[in-house]
Each structure stands twice: as structure tokens, then as C-alpha cells.
Amino acid sequence: MARTAGRVIGSLLVDPGESADAPGLCESLNVAKSSMSVALGQLERGGLVERFRPPKGRRDHYRLADDVFGRAFRAKMAEFTTFAQLAERGLAVVGDNPRGRARLELMRDM
């Protein structure tokens, strides 16, 4: 996760209003609009934040997803599974190279 995305999650965790708009996040975190846009897009695609429009509001707001830590944990576990699968593929092609095989086995077994 990028640094700005992590800071957004931290800000939304402690925000007493439980949501914020992008300009407000930019100001409070001292982050450029472009960086904030990328971070919010990444977090939204990952299911960690939700975008919504408050009643009578003119700007989208962002809040943490209900199960933000469970979602983050499951996403990280999926990365580990992919990592192990990559090691298995490497073991299938590494041949008789004992150092390479040992490294790939260690990677797989992590």
C-alpha cells in the first residue's frame, strides 16, 4: 500500500465525522490532488474505502468500509498464496540448481 493510501486510512480511522471529502483530505494530510486521487482510487478498488454522496452534498465523501481490516488481511493473504504459487512454478523449471532450489523452497514455505 502506498504511503498516501495508508495516511488516508489513518485519517479516516480517527476522523470524528467518520468520512471526508478529497479536498479536505488533501488539506489535512498536505497531499497534492493528484496523489490523493490515486490513493483514493486504489483504496476504493481494493474495497477498503467507500465513496458516497451525502444528502444535499455536492462532493463525494469517503469512509472506511465496514470490514476494512478483514478485507486488508484477506487481500494480503491472497498475495502470499500467489507468491507461493510463483515459487512452485519456479521449482518446476529450476532444474538441478541446489542454491536456486533451496531459495525457491524457502520462498514457497514462508
What's the domain count of the chain? 2
Mind giving me the DSSP string for 91-105?
A: HHH-TT-HHHHHHHH
Do 58 and 82 sit in the same domain of this protein? Answer: no
Residues 11 and 25 sit within 8 Å (Cβ to Cβ): yes
pLDDT of residue 110: 79
CA dist 51 and 67 (Å) reads: 15
pLDDT of residue 5: 94
Domain residues for the domain of 23 are 3-64
Model-level pTM?
Answer: 0.68
For residue 94, the tally of other CB atoms under 10 A from its CB is 17
Do 10 and 24 sit in the same domain of this protein? Answer: yes
pLDDT of residue 80: 85
Do 27 and 57 sit in the same domain of this protein? Answer: yes
Do 60 and 102 sit in the same domain of this protein? Answer: no
Residue 107 forms beta bridges with which residues?
A: none
* Mean pLDDT per 10-residue section of the chain, whose length is 110 residues: 91 87 95 96 91 92 88 82 88 88 88
Do 76 and 104 sit in the same domain of this protein? Answer: yes
Do 80 and 54 sit in the same domain of this protein? Answer: no
